[in-house]
Amino acid sequence: MKVLIHDSAEAAVAAIANRIVEKVIAKPACVLGLATGGTVEPVYDAMVQKYDQQKVSYSRIRTFNLDEYVGLSPDHPMSYHHFMEKHLFGRTDISASNTSIPFGNAANPAEEAKRYEAEIKRCGGIDCQLLGVGENGHIGFNEPTSSLSSTVRIKTLAPETVRANSRYFQRIEDVPRLSITMGIGTILCAREIVLIATGDNKSKAVLEMIEGPLSARCPASALQLHPHAEIYLDAAAASQLTLRDYYEAVHPNGKVES
């Protein structure tokens, strides 16, 4: 695990976006795993900016999003389909037919989960997976006590996730209670993982993710098992790490060799 501590959220965002863009330039038809949430919005803004500056084209990438709410149709304003269209897909040359997000309104969500896992495999697996992390340590909608080897399936949102995500809905009662999410095993199959966490509300999850123990209590701690995981942090998210001097000595200012 590479722990990359930046002075500010802006610097962490710029660094992770540059990293993703570098990967697309190196492999224009790469398979990217994508995430949703407040933390990744500026990452997508930075990726769009690189596209606007003609530094990169996304026309050949294939994308798979982590998750979707069960019950929301793709055109629902709170769906992750809608989020991706608004923040990334609709602003670049990504081809709609090259993007996949689970269908939350599928007649049989359990079958949809199986189909989604198979589709990822059929495309050769994910080259690079972008992640955020929840305050409770979730990745995707893999809430605490999720199996560390889980595949795409239906998961019930934890009460704290319902509360956190209610900021996007008119009423907390409107937040769907179920999701279709890549499993932790699915995520660990990605050949590379880049995760971003900013703000002191993430500092406890970041501590548990990086310094352990490895436990289903903190799903993100499963990334300790991954051979190529890079964790992009601002100083606030890194504030509870006990081995911070070590991380900063290995990667001064969050710099990482290519």
Least distance (Å) from ligand PGA to the CB of residue 197? Answer: 8
Least distance (Å) from ligand PGA to the CB of residue 28? Answer: 28
* Alpha-carbon distances, residue 219 vs 116, 130, 133 (angstroms): 21, 15, 9
Contacts of 190 (CB under 8 A, 6+ apart): 33, 125, 126, 127, 128, 129, 226
Least distance (Å) from ligand PGA to the CB of residue 66? Answer: 8
By CB under 6 A, how many residues form the interface with ligand PGA? 6
The site string for ligand PGA over 126-165 (x = CB under 6 A, - otherwise) reads: ------xxx-------------------------------
Name which of 100 and 166 has its Cβ closer to ligand PGA. 166
Q: Is 28 in the site for ligand PGA (CB under 6 A)?
A: no
**Cα Rg for the chain, rounded, in angstroms?**
17
Name which of 34 and 56 has its Cβ closer to ligand PGA. 34
Contacts of 86 (CB under 8 A, 6+ apart): none
CA dihedral 8→11→16→22, nearest 10 degrees, is -170
Let me know the angle formed at the C-alpha of 86 by 76 and 132, rounded to the nearest 5 degrees. Answer: 95
Residues with catalytic roles: 67, 136, 138, 143
Residue span binding ligand PGA (CB under 6 A) among the ranges 34-42, 70-78, 99-107, 148-156: 34-42
The residue within the footprint of ligand PGA, chosen from 38, 77, 90, 124 (CB under 6 A), is 38
Kindly state the tokens that stand for 169.
Answer: 């809905």
